[in-house]
């Protein structure tokens, strides 16, 4: 990997392209009435994936970029769970039929902060309102510091088959600097509980670019993680945006690694995981050979959504909970971010949609190009444009940001086929951004490209 390019391009703030257009372009012009109409227009053959956002934690991790709040009283969590159940029923009634579901993902916050019986009730509500297929992947994000054996049993009985564990770093110096002290022993104990319960799909989330982090500490975290045998890793660069996430001001910027150091950490982690036999999936995921995600990458059926890379091929993602985002063929919708406003909307019998975006034909074309670049490091512009009734020449002419990427050897263009050079794949977001017609480089809304 070329460090000269990391220095040239690494400081630019760019989206992670889990959607296109990205969330900052959503507007209040799309509200509850529009969402209700979009749901009612779903074709009879449509299936869906479900995302449930649980925005509560016991304490704040200072690196966190999620919509979450700290709670001490379980009554608030129980009330929120009841609101989620009401929203599930409202959405299902609006659709007008019990559509099939192939993926369910609980995110947060800490979804397992719910009482075990509340979690089981929520799963039962989804199975009542939707036809959850027997083969469905049901995934839950977990904070190993707070998971109980009772919750693991509730997950098992509810059909959960994948768990994503936040690890970030096992370096105690880094952990203290980000207010997340989590021992290796705690994490190992949770992995053991999950596996004994038959929840075999285990993901680990790691972060580089944290305060006091070094290549050596990153590699030590990888070594310890490998001993626990997860079948997937997600490896993200820390996004320091204290103007938007005020708790990040607790992190001393003087102790953050610069762009080149972040680049070295990302490379070291990637190389260590590949040497251990994992397949690199796109920008930031790794999976064991034979894992469904590795197979999707090889088959070129990998997709990208708000959870990152996914094997989910569906065109409908229904989001439940405060701040949750959904994706339908017509466009994107996002619920009220504030928990109070979200709960009031649902209690009044209205969907909680606060904003969204209606897709144009040009958006759909660019979204397909960007997704293929992010998933495959390449895009057949001729094929994609043909499917959208467009001309690849016009698309290339509109991508002015592509020219320096080609001249710097980051991108190769062979006719209408674009490919990211192997030693420049860490800059795939820069390549995808060349096709982003909405990007405003002057706004610091996103994380650094490296």
pLDDT at 441: 67
Which pLDDT tens digit goes with each residue over 406-445? Answer: 999 999 999 999 999 998 998 999 999 999 999 986 665 5
Q: With 90 as the cut, is the pLDDT of residue 79 above it?
A: yes
Q: From CA 4, how far away is CA 353, in angstroms rounded?
A: 44
Pairing of strands 285-287, 303-305: unpaired
Residue 98: other Cβ atoms inside 10 A: 13
State the pLDDT confidence band at 13, using cuts at 50, 70 and 90. confident
* pLDDT given at position 228: 98
pLDDT of residue 444: 53
pTM for the whole structure: 0.93
Q: What is the pLDDT of residue 53?
A: 97
Higher pLDDT, 73 or 154: 154
pLDDT at 1 over 70: no
Residue 449 pLDDT exceeds 80: no
Query: Which residue, 321, 317, 392, 330, is CA-closest to 356?
Result: 330
Domains of the chain, first to last: 20-358 (3.80.30.20), 361-448 (1.10.10.920)
Residue 326: φ, ψ to 5°: -120, 160
User: What is the spatial distance between Cα 140 and Cα 126, in angstroms, rounded to a whole number?
Assistant: 15
**DSSP track, 390-430:** --HHHHHHH-TTHHHHHHTTSEEEETTEEEE-GGGGGGHHH
Return mean pLDDT, the chain. Answer: 94
| SS3 (DSSP) at 179 | coil
Confidence tier at 307 by pLDDT (50, 70, 90): confident
pLDDT at 18: 92
Tens digit of pLDDT for each residue in 148-191?
999 999 999 999 999 999 999 999 999 999 999 999 999 999 99
DSSP string, 109-145: S-GGGS-HHHHHHHHHHHHHHSEEEEEEEEEEEE-TT
Q: Distance between CA atoms of 87 and 367, rounded to whole angstroms?
A: 29
- Taking only the tens place, the pLDDT of each residue in 334-357 is 999 999 999 999 999 999 999 999
CA gyration radius, the chain: 21
Please tell me the total number of residues recorded for the chain in this structure. 450
């Amino acid at each position: 990997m070329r460090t000269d390019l990391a220095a040239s391009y690494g400081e630019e703030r760019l989206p992670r392209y889990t959607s296109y257009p990205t969330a900052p372009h959503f507007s209040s012009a799309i509200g509850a009435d529009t969402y209700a109409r979009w749901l009612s227009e779903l074709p009879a053959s449509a299936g869906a994936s479900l995302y449930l956002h649980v925005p509560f934690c016991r304490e704040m991790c200072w690196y966190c970029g999620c919509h979450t709040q700290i709670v001490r009283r379980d009554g608030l969590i129980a009330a929120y769970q009841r609101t989620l159940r009401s929203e599930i029923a409202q959405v299902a009634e609006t659709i007008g039929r019990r559509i099939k579901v192939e993926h369910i993902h609980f995110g947060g916050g800490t979804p397992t902060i719910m009482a075990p019986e509340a979690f089981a009730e929520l799963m039962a509500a989804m199975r009542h309102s939707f036809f959850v297929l027997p083969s469905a992947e049901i995934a839950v994000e977990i904070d190993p510091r707070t998971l109980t054996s009772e919750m693991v049993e509730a997950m098992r009985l509810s059909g959960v088959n994948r768990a994503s564990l936040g690890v970030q770093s096992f370096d105690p110096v880094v952990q203290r600097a980000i207010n997340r002290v989590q021992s290796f022993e705690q994490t190992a104990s949770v992995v053991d509980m999950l596996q004994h319960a038959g929840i075999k799909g285990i993901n680990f989330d790691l972060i580089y670019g944290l305060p006091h982090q070094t290549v050596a500490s990153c590699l030590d975290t990888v070594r310890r993680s490998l001993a626990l045998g997860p079948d997937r890793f997600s490896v993200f660069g820390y996004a320091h945006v204290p103007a938007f996430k005020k708790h990040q001001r607790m992190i001393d910027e003087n102790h953050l690694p610069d762009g080149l150091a972040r680049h070295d950490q990302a490379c070291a982690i990637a190389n260590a995981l590949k040497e251990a036999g994992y397949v690199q999936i796109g920008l930031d995921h790794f999976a064991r050979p034979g894992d469904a995600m590795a197979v999707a990458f090889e088959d070129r059926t990998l997709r990208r959504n708000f959870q990152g890379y996914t094997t989910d091929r569906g065109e409908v993602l229904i989001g439940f909970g405060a701040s949750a985002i959904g994706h339908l063929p017509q466009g994107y919708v996002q619920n009220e971010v504030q928990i109070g406003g979200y709960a009031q909307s649902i209690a009044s019998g209205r969907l909680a949609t606060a904003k969204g975006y209606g897709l144009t034909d040009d958006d759909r074309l660019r979204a397909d190009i960007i997704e293929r670049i992010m998933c495959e490091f390449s895009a057949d512009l001729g094929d994609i444009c043909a499917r959208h009734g467009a001309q690849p020449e016009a698309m290339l002419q509109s991508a002015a940001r592509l020219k320096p990427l080609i001249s710097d050897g980051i991108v190769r263009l062979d006719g209408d086929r674009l490919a990211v050079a192997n030693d420049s794949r860490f800059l795939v977001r820069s390549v995808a951004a060349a096709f982003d017609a909405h990007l405003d480089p002057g706004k610091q809304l996103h994380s650094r490209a490296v």
